[in-house]
Structure 1
Amino acid sequence: MSSLNDPIAATTGRWWEHAVVYQVYPRSFADADGDGVGDLAGVTDRLPYLRDLGVDAVWLSPFYRSPQHDHGYDVADYHDVDPLFGELADADAMLARAHELGLKVIVDLVPNHTSDEHRWFQAALAAAPGSPERARYLFREGRGPGGDEPPNNWASVFGGAAWTRVEEADGTPGQWYLHLFDSTQPDLDWRNPEVGDMFVEVLRFWLDRGVDGFRVDVAHGLVKEESLRDQELAEGELPDSESVNSAATASMVERTLRDEPMWDQPEVHDVYRRWHDVLAEYDGDRMTVAEAWTQTPGSMADFVRPDEMSQAFNFAFLLAPWDAAAFAEVVTGSTEAVGRVGALPTWVLSNHDVVRHVTRYGGGALGLDRARAATLAMLALPGSAYLYQGEELGLEQVEVAPEHRQDPSWFRTGEVGRDGCRVPVPWSGTAPPYGFGPGGGQPWLPQPDDWAGVTVEAQLGDPGSTLTFYQAALAARREHALGLPDAVEAGTDGDVLRVRRGDLLVVLNCGDAPAELPAGEVLVSSGPLDGVLPPATSAWLRV
């Protein structure tokens, strides 16, 4: 068995092809200075924990200078660290320490929009309609008498209209600007060459500092249909932009096909061909991974053609219900789709935008058993896997009281939003902040009072803990799954998912009754077996 920090490339070629990547949401991971918000120094302090967990890389959500209206996804300066998280030297120290420990580092890049405090948008507000400054964004005249109506019927992902009207220098109502997310996040016009040139500069800035890759936010959204026409809606259908909430009602492998002039336009692929060439100038197999909520496996695969991005998140696995046939369909459909373009799939069950999968799978002991079983099955699949901070502790979605919620979608729609998966990680102790930072009291989002049993400290060395299970599962992946053929066969036997990859057989019981355990050497399981495969349990066997 290889040691935990051996370069994965030693057995698999390019490091990212079969890597396990751990997502860090910086404001909720570890707080070094005691202000209740996580920071880069806190991340650096906890990197040995991630090395010992057995992951290969760390992906950090945005830490750039930002007014934090969308917790860093509203970037005011792509070349600097927000004081909330430290300074540029802290980013350099974090990168250096990660590389010392054998960990790669992926940083988030937000190219669809900037903050409304970005110098470009401030210049656009000060300039006149039709000016070069406004041409960097999507400013348009309104419709109706006096231009009082938005230019089209598009909706914001965060609720409400996707357009906001500005007041011109003379105090009169003026043009409207597009924001597919919050009104503080104006969309850039990627048909303007200045925009593309600026982001190439941003790529080079961080590549020169040593980052190993970029997770690209809203990768499918950069280019809009040029006419900015209305979205065509079925009878009774309301305007609704792509979002995690709408995607969660999708079918197992594909979303419902609909007219989406704001997403996944053909010209977006020209952007990533240019980026591919930039990354190719650097050594170390630098990579990109697309957050692309596309409508079909085929359109997802378009992002990972040989001259474009390295990976695209495969959200179909996350969206699948707890059902053996659903999982089998996802595995087959996803691997076939990316295989047609010579790429490998990615797999993910939780992230900072969705309900944690313990809760999605029913919550409590049942949800935890199912989550562990699904995770073990996922880790056997070809390609790379992405984990979200705290899932190795078995954390559930937290019910954050309305007075503590901070997600902009909560303020725009009144819906609960994403705060419940972003509550800071519990590290030690018996009361908040559970070692998240020095001192006492609650961090920026309050932690539950009953988390003493799920801290890292409480679970380390406990043979029955979820943390110990994740360590064992990741070790088993390195020992038994790396180096296997990438070809995979998925099917069902009643309520049992069966996945065959080389001499590895993975079984996952999605039913309510014990199932027969196939003959073979049991390599690892998500729970006790006792000669059968219990419900909500998975196992790897060498056959």
Structure 2
Amino acid sequence: MDLSNGTEEQMASGRETTWWRDALIYEVYVRSFADSNGDGIGDLPGVTSKLDYLAGLGVDALWLTPFFPSPQADGGYDVSDYRNVDPMYGTLADFKDLLAAAHSRNIRIIVDVVPNHCSDRHPDFEAALAAGPGSEERERFIFRDGAGRDGELPPSDWQSKFGGPAWERVPDGQWYLHIFSKEQPDFNWRHPGVRADFEHTLRFWSDLGVDGFRVDVAHGLMKDLELPLRNTFGADSAPLLSSPEGDDHPFWDRDEVHGVYRQWRKILDEYDPPRLAVAEAGVSLDRLPMYVRTDELDQAFNFFYLRSPWNPDVFRTVIDDALAGVARVGAATSWVLSNHDVVRHRTRYGLPTGTDVLRWSASNGTDPLPDDAAGRRRARASVLLTLALPGAAYLYQGEELGLPEVPDLPADCLQDPIFARTGGAEKGRDGCRVPLPWNADGPGLGFTDGVPWLPQPRDWGSYAASEQEHDAGSFLALYRQAAAVRRQVLATNPGPEISWQDFGADVLAFRRGRLLCLVNFGARDVLLPAGKLILASEPGIREALATDTSAWLLTA
């Protein structure tokens, strides 16, 4: 099937143009997915080799993390060329092969575009350094004179998300802004050349046939650069549904950013079907719908769902607010439990409520010790909750295998810049990026014939896809069954709304069409109501839900 153009019937129904509204999308962290050449790093041919596995899982699309040329200071999110493939991941021909092979299996491809910043080895930034203060080349970035008598102090108190000041001084005395690592200078999105270059990038990949884009740091492009620069005033202990950065921040969620996405929408709509764009935007649930208005992007990640503790009241509040927000603008929400930037949810759900995960990671996962049995049950229960909700669901590679976090990676193996920039006070995100175990044995557990770029724990062979393949009670079997049943339920067009049901304070239950989803957060068993039990998070469930389990029933 050619997914770059829908049939007349599909286009008439609108299904082809809105496939993403209820899609099951799988994040491929390319470095850690599958290595085809034995160098220990995942690559594009490796992804292609696993497409039958992904098709069997029932996913509609793959989101590929950046595979563009990069010095890899931040796992590829420091891009030096936005319209090519890094040799460590393959070639442009390899990407085209992957795209064609995926489309032949009715799997769409979403690529990661990184518009807030580039690599300090990007030709435009190298030109800016060479050109000097006041030059046109420097206007593409955010250079400022320093504070203090001789400009020896940063221009403002702005802090990097990776630790330390968000300004780096260059030999001629000026400073440039980098909201992340110093190897990732921020673009000046008020410069027309920056806008034009990214429009070129969108068209380049769209012309090749990609189906959409994940927009990295979508809320960070515009900055308040009026002098004197304002101090930051983020909310260190922000309420769950608010922005973690606070309101009216100098470089997050500025109103001007929406002009960028209105122009992008025009470009994405030039294609048939229109290309998807999903925002990574860490903003409040009140402001998140602004990014998915009809003339802007299509979806925005719901990080509040990911941040929710294992509590039915919190989940219900987040679900209600998310659905109400997108309903106001006619969009569809998304749900995500894990990604390449956070502690895997199997482990998070096993930690006591309120655990500081940064401190926990720095303790090598020992303070406190997670309750893995509880985390396992909750991870299984949560997938049924997630896939029953209206909207798209994003899976992070390995969650379908039940992978836990790896918090005790040796310091000399860590590559996340957060570790270095915080002086080791934070271990960073490598613990959720350990390469996948495909086979139960061998030095690379089927990920590679060489040495994996991050070491795999000795017990990870027990999580291998090969071990779970024919185990009816495995994580993999549960995910496959849930995806298949979900597809059947969606075929009945249950609609974008849910109806909450009362089964007690410890039970989260809602009806969507004929589907009834129940999750028991309490300590006591809960009797199942009348209806046909079609799927449960644990084998053996027949008449009652034990603690931390979930079920789907078909009702009259």
TM-score, normalised by the number of residues in structure 2 = 0.90
* Change in 2 beyond 3 A, CA 1:113/1:316: same
Describe how 1:7-406 pairs up with structure 2 within 5 A: 12=15, 14-168=18-172, 174-227=173-226, 229-233=229-233, 250-255=238-243, 257-294=246-283, 296-362=284-350, 363-399=371-407, 400-406=409-415
| Letter in structure 2 aligned against 1:530 | R
1:96 positional shift: 0.8
Contact preservation (8 Å) 1:253, 1:320: no
Contact preservation (8 Å) 1:350, 1:387: yes
| Letter in structure 1 aligned against 2:548 | A
1:232 positional shift: 4.5
Q: 398-407 vs 216-225, which deviates more?
A: 398-407
Structure 2 equivalent of residue 423 of structure 1: 434
Q: Which runs of 5+ in 1 are unaligned?
A: 1-5, 169-173, 234-238, 241-245
1:302 positional shift: 0.3
| Letter in structure 2 aligned against 1:518 | P
Q: Of residues 484, 490, 515 in structure 2, which corresponds to 1:475? A: 484
Give SS of 1:106's match.
Answer: strand
Partner Cα distance (1:397, 1:525) in 2: 24
| Letter in structure 1 aligned against 2:319 | V
Structure 1 equivalent of residue 355 of structure 2: none
For residues 154-179 of structure 1, what are the alpha-carbon distances to aligned partners after superposition, in whole Å with 9 as ceiling and x for unaligned?
100000000000002xxxxx110000
Give SS of 1:147's match.
Answer: coil
For residues 352-410 of structure 1, what are the alpha-carbon distances to aligned partners after superposition, in whole Å with 9 as ceiling and x for unaligned?
00000000000522101101111111101111000000000000001211111110001
Partner Cα distance (2:373, 2:15) in 1: 36
* Change in 2 beyond 3 A, CA 1:22/1:250: farther
Contact preservation (8 Å) 1:298, 1:338: no
| Letter in structure 1 aligned against 2:301 | F
Give SS of 2:443's match.
Answer: coil
Q: Which runs of 5+ in 2 are unaligned?
A: 1-5, 351-370
Is 1:541 matched with 2:545?
Answer: no
Structure 2 equivalent of residue 171 of structure 1: none
Partner Cα distance (1:201, 1:426) in 2: 38
Structure 2 equivalent of residue 532 of structure 1: 544
1:501 positional shift: 1.4
Contact preservation (8 Å) 1:57, 1:104: yes
What is the CA RMSD across the aligned residues, in angstroms? Answer: 1.8
1:539 positional shift: 0.9
Contact preservation (8 Å) 2:158, 2:232: no
* Change in 2 beyond 3 A, CA 1:431/1:536: farther
Q: Of residues 501, 508, 511 in structure 2, which corresponds to 1:500? A: 511
Is 1:488 matched with 2:492?
Answer: no
1:152 positional shift: 0.8
Contact preservation (8 Å) 1:469, 1:526: yes
* Change in 2 beyond 3 A, CA 1:232/1:75: closer
Contact preservation (8 Å) 1:331, 1:490: no
Q: 48-57 vs 429-438, which deviates more?
A: 429-438
Partner Cα distance (1:466, 1:395) in 2: 9
Q: What is the aligned length?
A: 518
Q: 480-489 vs 325-334, which deviates more?
A: 480-489
Partner Cα distance (1:350, 1:85) in 2: 24
Give SS of 1:96's match.
Answer: helix
For residues 197-222 of structure 1, what are the alpha-carbon distances to aligned partners after superposition, in whole Å with 9 as ceiling and x for unaligned?
00000011101111000000000000
Give SS of 1:506's match.
Answer: strand
* Change in 2 beyond 3 A, CA 1:128/1:11: closer
Q: 359-368 vs 56-65, which deviates more?
A: 359-368
Give SS of 1:538's match.
Answer: strand
Partner Cα distance (2:523, 2:15) in 1: 38
Give SS of 1:146's match.
Answer: coil
1:258 positional shift: 4.2
Partner Cα distance (1:437, 1:160) in 2: 36
TM-score, normalised by the number of residues in structure 1 = 0.93
Partner Cα distance (1:533, 1:11) in 2: 39
